[in-house]
Chains A and B, each alone.
Chain A
Amino acid sequence: MLAVLLLTISLGLVGFALDATFHRSAEAGLQARMESLVYLVLAASDVDENGLLTVKDDPGDPRLGQPGSGIYAHVYGELNEWASPSSLAVALPELLRVPAGESSFMKPAAENDFYTYSYGVRFELADGRMLPFTVGILVDSQELLSELQAFRSGLWRSLGATGFILVLAQLVLLALGLRPLRRITQDISGIESGKLERLEGNFPKELEPLKRNINHLLDTEKANQSRYRNALDSLAHSLKTPLSVIRSSLPADASPKTAAMENAVDDMQHMIATRLQRAAASTRSSIATAVDVKTQVERLVQSLKRVYSQELINIDVMIEPGLAFYGEQRDLLEVAGNLLDNACKYGGGQVRLSAGASDPADPRIGINLQVEDNGPGIAKDARELLLQRGVRGDERVEGHGLGLAIVLEVVSAYNGEITIKQSDMGGALVSVSLQTR
């Protein structure tokens, strides 16, 4: 916008300068033309021995003979004067008499005035007398004005065209020049949304330093992030060992003091586990590969069978063939693992896991997972409490609490939903949806 304004102003200045110059040179040209007309008229003039002036009515310029043509000649002698036929019916102003050998050029004082050029001469008569004459040429100012107007309109048209082309060229150049910047903008929003890791691709040489700096910034940021995450992670994990020491050093009595300590350690454990999961869930990488749900669930089932081998637990797995989870394998294991573990722990030995795609048309949208058992189930009023994030201390429902709290963190990271119902097997039915898009 500013460029367009500057362009207009400078083109305008150029226009005015050209206009003024043209005006000056046109006037100079007119003066020269008028001078030559003077000589033409002089050549057509004659003075007899009495000093009477005669001028041929056609001094050599047809416009002088054509009435109202705009060019007029007037000769003043001592005894008589002559006006060109063109001045018929035209009121010409009186001209200054100019001494012989001198000339005077006058510009029009008003709009409908004349350019006048007067030239003083002397005729030598046969008897040796010298008679002064003044030859005046008058040119209607309209003459020059129309010339000037023609020039002006041509000038402004071409200046306008030039301006238009320049503005257009500027816009095109801007668009071309800004295209890489626009690509950088796109790439950065791609990085924000997690589709890209860093700025890739070829940019013009001029933008390479910018690309390098942005990438460097991203790398530093990423390194910082992972440093914080690792620090947090190792802090949380290293807290667990001292917590174990505290717990194993507590006296094996049921005094209120011991119970209070036990509670405090429980709280800390709960906080560490859920916060860790929350931190881990927020670092979900966006380039998701397909995780085969059945394979992962089978791993869990094998592991749980090992752990619960002395109890008779039967885990039924019903998974749509080829079901894939487009998220983190870790998160899938965490959700299914905790739900299955709870079902094994609190159920009556019969556990069923079923899983399917949220939308069979697009498997990338997400999956639904259901785990049910034949245990005592979960009381209706406990269900809501269990599904609140960040419930702690005495409000917590014992047993299902920690595992389910972790599941909640994962589910919320995937914008999913979780519900607890009554299973037709008799126990609890926990249903979870995980959205991967």
Chain B
Amino acid sequence: MRILLVEDDTGLQTSLAEILREAGYAVDVSSDGIEGLFFGEEYPVDLAIIDLGLPGLPGLDLIRKLRAQERQFPIMILTARSEWQDKVEGLEAGADDYLTKPFHPEELKARVGALLRRSAGHAQPLIELGPLKIDLVSQRVFNGEDEIELTTYEYKVFEYLLMHPDEVVTKTVLSEHIYEEDADRDSNVIEVFVGRLRKKIDPQGVMNPIETLRGRGYRLNKQPQST
């Protein structure tokens, strides 16, 4: 999942980006509204965290512009203004949630996770896929009672596919949502991740939840067909 963080305070930007990366997200950062708008328009963003007091373009205007361009990813407002007047205005501009400074990092992570799940249509943080149980909050995957150990990138690939079930996801899209903009990308690496992921979640190859569509990409089937 790829997060756009637009925050002009470099100290907060750095520590927030660090917290989010530790939580397994790819994070693009921007310090001003105009650049933030450009990133929001051009990058495959899954969620944006936008500070209201931004140089260049105020946060509220940035949100309105993104929404006017049919950018539908969830947006969380980060603001020092805790008055309801400001919150209501922010939400009316098109934001989905707000977080007032100073906040607990845990709360930020929880809200980000909840927003992402909500946008994927999952009301609960626990997804069941055949015998598999995926806890999106603790980022753990279980097969029955046994926990499956996944690396960060394997989990990222799996999570993205879970958030887009029954959709064809190309390798490019996957790498775009897993890596940040300036990261070194290699679509072959995605093949390696998917291969390892398949072996771990379905060692016997009976469920085949991740289907390969030759030349097009992958598709996660919500109702895996046993072959």
Contacts and interface: CB of A to CB of B under 8 A. Distances in A.
Interface in B88-105: 88, 91-92, 96-98, 100-105
Interface string B87-124: 11001100011101111111010000010011000010
Interface stretch (A47-55, A183-191, A243-251): A243-251
B11 interface: yes
Given A237-B80, A310-B123, A247 B97 contact: no
Interface string A246-268: 11111010000000000001001
B172 interface: no
Given A306-B96, A309-B118, A241 B84 contact: no
B101 A240 contact: yes
Most interface-central of A242, A247, A299, A306 (chain B CB within 10 A): A247
Interface in B64-104: 80-85, 87-88, 91-92, 96-98, 100-104
Range, interface on chain B = 20 to 34
Given A330-B85, A333-B83, A306 B91 contact: yes
Interface residues of A, number: 34
B124 to A, nearest CB: 8
Given A249-B15, A333-B83, A244 B102 contact: yes
B80 A337 contact: no
B102 A240 contact: yes
A337 B88 contact: yes
A240 B80 contact: yes
A401 to B, nearest CB: 13
Contacts of A252: 105-106
B206 interface: no
A112 interface: no
A392 B103 CA distance: 18
A273 B103 CA distance: 13
Given A238-B80, A240-B101, A269-B102, A300 B9 contact: no
A334 B103 contact: no
Contact of A333 (B85, B100, B105, B108): B85
A241 B9 CA distance: 7
A334 B114 contact: no
A333 B82 CA distance: 12
B218 to A, nearest CB: 27
Nearest to B7: A241
B104 A337 contact: no
Interface in B140-198: none
A338 interface: yes
A161 to B, nearest CB: 71
A307 interface: yes
A303 interface: yes
Interface in A262-317: 265, 268-269, 273, 280, 299-300, 302-303, 306-307, 309-310
Interface of B: 9, 11-12, 15-16, 19, 53, 80-85, 87-88, 91-92, 96-98, 100-106, 108, 114, 117-118, 123
11 contacts: A240-B101, A242-B11, A243-B102, A245-B9, A245-B15, A268-B102, A302-B91, A302-B92, A307-B91, A329-B85, A336-B84
Question: Which 10 A-B pairs rank lowest in CB-CB distance, beginning with the nearest?
Answer: A337-B84, A243-B102, A240-B101, A240-B80, A303-B91, A237-B80, A244-B102, A333-B84, A244-B101, A248-B15
